Every structure is written in C-alpha cells, then in structure tokens.
Amino acid sequence: MSHDHDHDNELDPFAARVRALETILTRKGLIDPAAIDVIVDTYETRIGPRNGAKVVAKAWSDPAYADWLRRDATAAIESLSYTGRQGEHMQAVFNTEDTHNLVVCTLCSCYPWSVLGLPPVWYKAPPYRSRAVIDPRGVLEEFGLTLPTTKKIRVWDSTAELRYLVVPMRPDGTEGWSEERLADLVSRDAMIGTALARQPA
C-alpha cells in the first residue's frame, strides 16, 4: 500500500492496535470503556508494588508466614487480602546465597498484578522477554546488577495460570526492624528479580 505522506497523529503500533481493538469491542457492545478505565485506574493507583513489599516484609519477619508462602503462595498472599484475578495462582521464589531468581513472561506479559500492580514497559518488551532467558546475567548487568559468577540465576517463565513473586534476601543490618520499615527496602524490581532489596541507609 502506498503510504508516502506524513501523519501528525501517529500512535506507536502497539497503541494503535490497542485503540483499534477497544473501538471494535466497544462498537460490538462487548466492553464499556468507562469500566475499563476503572480497572486500569485500580491497578495504577490502588494496587501497586507496595502490596508485594508487604508480603516480602512479612516473610522476612515471620518464619511461619515465610514457610506458608513457600508452600502455598496463593493462599498466603490472599490472607493479606491481596486477591488476584480469577484463576491466578502464585508461586513465591526465594533468593538465597546460592541462587538468584528472575521472572519473565516469554510469551506475552503475564505478571502478578495483585501484588505488583501494572507491569513496567520493559517487562512487556520483546528484548527483555527473549534475552532474560538467553542471557539473564547480561540482562541483570544492564539493570546495574552484577552478581558473582558463582551465583546461579534461575529464570521463571510466567503463564496465565502461574505467576511468580521473587522474595529477595533480607539485607543485613535490619535486625529488629518493623515490617513497615522493612517493606520500604523492597522495590518492584527486586520482586521481579532485576534488583536486590535496598540496603539500609
């Protein structure tokens, strides 16, 4: 198709596709754009990585909770009233001295919305999705995280049925801290695995 003139209203291809889909579904009466806006707003402003950070801080503080989280993350997370969308099962993967965990969705952008809110743009981008599996160590270095070569990196590929939450290692020097204070050390990226928990100042 000939296309030799400039536009001043171009959307990137992904946004254009979303816009087209939304238009079609709205015209067919299958979705209500106002309802979609409410859902997006909920995930943008009400549900965010703070939920996940509270889960991690509780696991750091309470060995019984950590054990429950390890065995049945879906239930342990639901007990804090962070319920996912239907059919979403969670698995918590714990970083250790020997192993670092990294989460990706190679197929699309499956992500633990109920504990981390909306996924970052890079999480959905093809370079991250392919390279996290092929060269996780290189990807982490681009995030500014250089791990010792002796540390194993385990990559977890999310699906629509199973989403992962990385539990980073608790930083030294935080003995006796409250859960609230600990949660401030837990970033979204630390729960995806592209960062570690922050060190106490």
Determine if residue 81 is labeled as part of a ligand binding site: no
Residue 105 marked as a ligand binder: yes
Answer yes or no: 114 catalytic.
no
From the list 61, 79, 109, 187, the catalytic residue is 109
Of the candidates 61, 79, 81, 108, the residue annotated as catalytic is 108
Nearest to 157 by CA among 188, 134, 179, 184: 134
Binding mask 102-141 for Fe ion (x = CB under 5 A): ---x-xxxx-------------------------------
Q: How far is the CB of 110 from Fe ion (least distance, A)?
A: 3
Cα–Cα distance between 6 and 78 in angstroms, integer? 51
User: Does residue 108 carry a catalytic annotation?
Assistant: yes
Question: Does the annotation flag 108 for ligand binding?
Answer: yes
User: Is there a catalytic annotation at residue 110?
Assistant: yes
Instruction: Closer to Fe ion by CB, 43 or 65: give it.
Output: 43
Residues 67-106 that bind Fe ion (CB under 5 A): 105
Q: Under rule CB under 5 A, which residues in 141-160 are in contact with Fe ion?
A: none
Query: Among 81, 105, 130, 158, which one carries the catalytic annotation?
Result: 105
178 in a labelled binding site: no
- Taking the complex as a whole, the smallest distance from the CB of residue 64 to Fe ion amounts, in Å, to 32
Question: Catalytic: 109?
Answer: yes
Q: Annotated catalytic sites, by residue?
A: 105, 108-110
Binding site for Fe ion (CB under 5 A): 105, 107-110
Q: Write out the binding residues for Fe(3+).
A: 105, 108-110
